[in-house]
Chains A and B, each alone.
Chain A
Amino acid sequence: MGHTRRDFLQFAASSGAAFAAAGLLGNPARALAQQRLTQDDLLRFDAKGQVTLLHFTDVHAQLAPVYFRPPDTNIGVGDYAGIPPHLVGEEFLKAFGIERGSPLAYAHTFLDYVELARSYGRLGGLDRTATLVKAIRAERGDDHVLFLDGGDTWQGSYTSLKTNGQDMVDCMKLLKPDAMTGHWEFTFGTDRFHELVEEMGYPFLASNIFDAEWDEPAFEHTAMFEKGGVRVAVIGQAMPYTPIANPRWMFPEYSFGLRLEALQTNVDAAREAGAEVVVLLSHDGFDVDRKLATTISGIDVILTGHTHDAVPQAVQEGQTLILASGSHGKYLGRIDLEVSGGKVTGFSSNVIPIFSDVIEPDAEMAAKIEEVRAPYRDELARVLGRTETLLYRRGNFNGTWDDLICQGIMEERDTEIALSPGFRWGTTLLPGQDITVEDLYTETSMTYPQVYRMEMTGQQLKDILEDVCDNLFNPDPFLQQGGDMVRVGGMTYTCSVNETIGNRISDMTLAASGEPIDPARSYVVGGWASVNEGVEGPAIYDLMETYIGRKHTVSIPDERSVKVKVE
């Protein structure tokens, strides 16, 4: 596996991004892998037209660079099977002309993950993103660039939980976004949400959040800008199923939904008001937005988030370009637009991986990150244990981090079965790494962390699995909520992805006894992140701190508790 100059050029040919050879960096262990990559290479771009859109989304409060293993399973259904973003591993490399073992292969696929992670290092870091944003603004001119935050910005770390999102708002403000939309932001509760939005100094846009009582639009939906002499309308679309996927009692004032009629009305109104370019800053998820592009007319660009997909270039769907810029701060999405006669006549796009060892941190942002983390430095670094094996979360059915969490729940709460939600946030630890408080909270930080313990019949368990599975694999994207499958501990099952609700889950087996799960029998089940109000139990991060502390060294083989059938 060699990383040659050709790898970059090959990608350059297919993407318009030119990665060329360059000088050595400081870290000798990584020198070989990185000697061909520089900040300038990452910034190299086939600049076009009058307008540059920069898209940053789903950072999940990761201020510092991360390891994040891309999924090995990301199944699309119906018309969406086998096309981006539902390509993993070799298929992904082939579709985008990326050489195995290259920096882009590391950024976008799970192949050779551990080995490449040790070579190429972590991705992300808001101070590195700041460097790129500033460089692009300088290159294009401030009056040509819009920087847009797709949301899921405030939740997902120890410091964001302790400061109720303050750390993220303080840091993001320095990047001067032009607008934002969101999802998990609401899990800080309505009052805190508004407090932070007040402080931001840029609008929170949502065409699809309505007052729950009167069914009237509750937020600003559109912001108009003039960039490079072009009138650009940005419309926000928050996560449509926030009150279903998250506890609606935390923000009872609001009703969400796709609200397609409202969106079409707002797009038309933006055009009437003179917009030459209409951009949807969306937290719908990729497939929802792909369908939306053919349902709603008049949107030029959808900057899509929520499903944490990173697609190297914009995807064209009908008259609309869709750019998906990943998650956890790993990437910065860029799309340049050439506009004439009130229409987009050309574009150039790239999702830039933020190789943290290659990009010089922005001094101003680095200082701010240091400042917000300083009060918690000792606690963040406190070592709870060590992992001998790769711990990751992302994937449709399971990951070793959730296997560890399920084990912890079953042992600490003495249950037969454990359920862990299919969140797509949460980063990766390499074999041999310490597990710190910071690492644990990166998997568990949330405002409704209680670990419940209750009895469920086998039938109830099946109903839950079927229900969640339909939220993931319903062939109509408008009925998909964007998470992965709920993770199970203590049991195994078969999932027939292309079946219908009620018929996807079979062969449910209790792992301990090897006996089939009896629909009529009661099982003691533990789980966390229930959307119900008044759930009692220890917080998941406290429970896992005890568990990991007790084990000290953990070793989680990557065994699959779910047999997946795709027909």
Chain B
Amino acid sequence: MTLTRRRVLALTAGAAALPVLQLLPGQAFASPEDVEKQISEFAGGKEPQTGKISLNTPEIAENGNTVPVSIEVDSAMTGDDMVESVMILADGNPLPSVATFHFTALSGTAAATTRMRLAKTQNVIALARMADGSVYMDKKEVKVTIGGCGG
């Protein structure tokens, strides 16, 4: 998916992004239970299904301090086929919550892009909650490297 400048601007108008505070030095990393709990709360106890939502991340972060991430949900954005919100989690950060995007019918499409900090190599998880209560998930591992030696 290519996000054009226009789409990004449109998106900032249509979706409210709630960025969450990033890690502080010496902070403990999130436990798998924390992440499970957040997923379960967002999903209202439902088991997330695969499909509909696609998460786009780099295979290897060019800069762990500002890693681009984008999501897109395949949705008509009307009636039951309507995305209410999308949550992004980073399961290896001290605070796994990265952002939650809320959408309305006026958003037109459910797509968003932001940048996040990744403390180390970890999974990025995106969840979409639909108006009918169903929840979809996509997950990608992003590698954070100290630096390599190019050929």
Map CB proximity to B onto A204-218 as digits: 1 under 8 Å, 0 otherwise: 000000000011110
B9 to chain A, nearest CB (A): 10
A69 within 8 A of partner (CB): no
Taking a contact as CB atoms under 8 Å apart, the answer to whether B62 and A244 are in contact is: yes
A207 to B56, CA, bound (A): 17
B23 to chain A, nearest CB (A): 19
Which of B5, B59, B147, B150 has the most chain A CB atoms closer than 10 A to its own CB? B150
Of the residues A245, A257, A463, A484, contact of B58 by C-beta under 8 Å: A257
B86 to chain A, nearest CB (A): 18
Taking a contact as CB atoms under 8 Å apart, the answer to whether A422 and B62 are in contact is: no
Chain B binding surface, main DSSP class: loop
Contacts of B149 in A (CB 8 A): 245, 421-423, 468, 471, 481, 483-484, 486, 529
B18 within 8 A of partner (CB): no
B22 within 8 A of partner (CB): no
Chain B residues 18 to 46 lying within 8 A of chain A, measured CB to CB, are none
Summed over the interface, the residue pairs from A and B with CB atoms below 8 Å come to a total of: 99
B9: nearest chain-A partner, CB-CB = A214
Contacts of B146 in A (CB 8 A): 463-464, 467-468
A262 within 8 A of partner (CB): yes
B148 within 8 A of partner (CB): yes
Chain A binding surface, main DSSP class: loop
Given known A-B contacts A248-B63, A257-B58, A257-B59, A241 and B150 have beta carbons under 8 A apart: yes
A419: nearest chain-B partner, CB-CB = B149
B67 to chain A, nearest CB (A): 10
Contacts of B68 in A (CB 8 A): 215, 255
Of the residues A216, A258, A308, A423, contact of B59 by C-beta under 8 Å: A258
Contacts of B5 in A (CB 8 A): 214, 216
Taking a contact as CB atoms under 8 Å apart, the answer to whether B145 and A471 are in contact is: yes
Taking a contact as CB atoms under 8 Å apart, the answer to whether B2 and A479 are in contact is: no
Taking a contact as CB atoms under 8 Å apart, the answer to whether B56 and A261 are in contact is: yes
Given known A-B contacts A214-B8, A216-B2, A243 and B147 have beta carbons under 8 A apart: no
A258: nearest chain-B partner, CB-CB = B59
Taking a contact as CB atoms under 8 Å apart, the answer to whether A215 and B3 are in contact is: yes
A64 to B151, CA, bound (A): 20
Contacts of A484 in B (CB 8 A): 149, 151
Chain A residues 510 to 551 lying within 8 A of chain B, measured CB to CB, are 529, 531
Contacts of A262 in B (CB 8 A): 2
Contacts of A529 in B (CB 8 A): 149
B104 within 8 A of partner (CB): no
Given known A-B contacts A214-B5, A215-B113, A216-B4, A481 and B59 have beta carbons under 8 A apart: no
B1 within 8 A of partner (CB): yes
B60 within 8 A of partner (CB): yes
B117 within 8 A of partner (CB): no
A242 within 8 A of partner (CB): yes
Taking a contact as CB atoms under 8 Å apart, the answer to whether A306 and B151 are in contact is: yes
Contacts of B70 in A (CB 8 A): 215
A86 to B7, CA, bound (A): 44
A362 to chain B, nearest CB (A): 28
Taking a contact as CB atoms under 8 Å apart, the answer to whether A256 and B151 are in contact is: no
Taking a contact as CB atoms under 8 Å apart, the answer to whether B151 and A479 are in contact is: no
Chain A residues 457 to 491 lying within 8 A of chain B, measured CB to CB, are 463-464, 467-468, 470-471, 478-479, 481-484, 486
Contacts of A479 in B (CB 8 A): 59-60, 143
Chain A residues 218 to 277 lying within 8 A of chain B, measured CB to CB, are 239-246, 248, 255-258, 261-262, 265
A438 to B117, CA, bound (A): 44
Of the residues B2, B145, B151, contact of A483 by C-beta under 8 Å: B151
Number of contacting residues on A, CB 8 A? 49
Map CB proximity to A onto B104-128 as digits: 1 under 8 Å, 0 otherwise: 0000000001000000010000000
A204 to B151, CA, bound (A): 20
A195 to B18, CA, bound (A): 42
Chain B residues 55 to 91 lying within 8 A of chain A, measured CB to CB, are 56, 58-60, 62-63, 68, 70
Contacts of A307 in B (CB 8 A): 151
A239 to B143, CA, bound (A): 17
A468 to B150, CA, bound (A): 10
B114 to chain A, nearest CB (A): 11
Taking a contact as CB atoms under 8 Å apart, the answer to whether A265 and B2 are in contact is: yes
Contacts of A261 in B (CB 8 A): 1-2, 56
A424 within 8 A of partner (CB): yes
Contacts of A144 in B (CB 8 A): none
A215 to B70, CA, bound (A): 11
A60: nearest chain-B partner, CB-CB = B151
B143: nearest chain-A partner, CB-CB = A479
A425 within 8 A of partner (CB): yes
A364 to chain B, nearest CB (A): 31
Which of A425, A468, A529 has the most chain B CB atoms closer than 10 A to its own CB? A468
A219 to B66, CA, bound (A): 23
Contacts of A468 in B (CB 8 A): 146, 148-149
Contacts of B56 in A (CB 8 A): 261
Contacts of A306 in B (CB 8 A): 151
A501 to B147, CA, bound (A): 14
Query: What are 19 A-B interface contacts by the 8 Å CB criterion?
Result: A183-B150, A214-B4, A214-B8, A215-B3, A239-B150, A240-B59, A241-B148, A243-B63, A244-B62, A246-B150, A256-B62, A257-B60, A261-B56, A285-B151, A308-B151, A422-B149, A481-B150, A483-B149, A529-B149
List B residues at the A interface (Cβ < 8 Å).
1-5, 8, 56, 58-60, 62-63, 68, 70, 113, 121, 143, 145-151
* 10 A-B pairs with the lowest CB-CB distances in the bound complex, closest first: A245-B150, A421-B149, A424-B151, A483-B149, A481-B148, A471-B148, A243-B62, A482-B151, A467-B146, A422-B149
Apart from the given pairs A467-B145, A467-B147, A479-B143, 6 other A-B contacts in the complex at a CB distance below 8 Å:
A184-B150, A214-B5, A255-B62, A422-B151, A483-B150, A501-B121
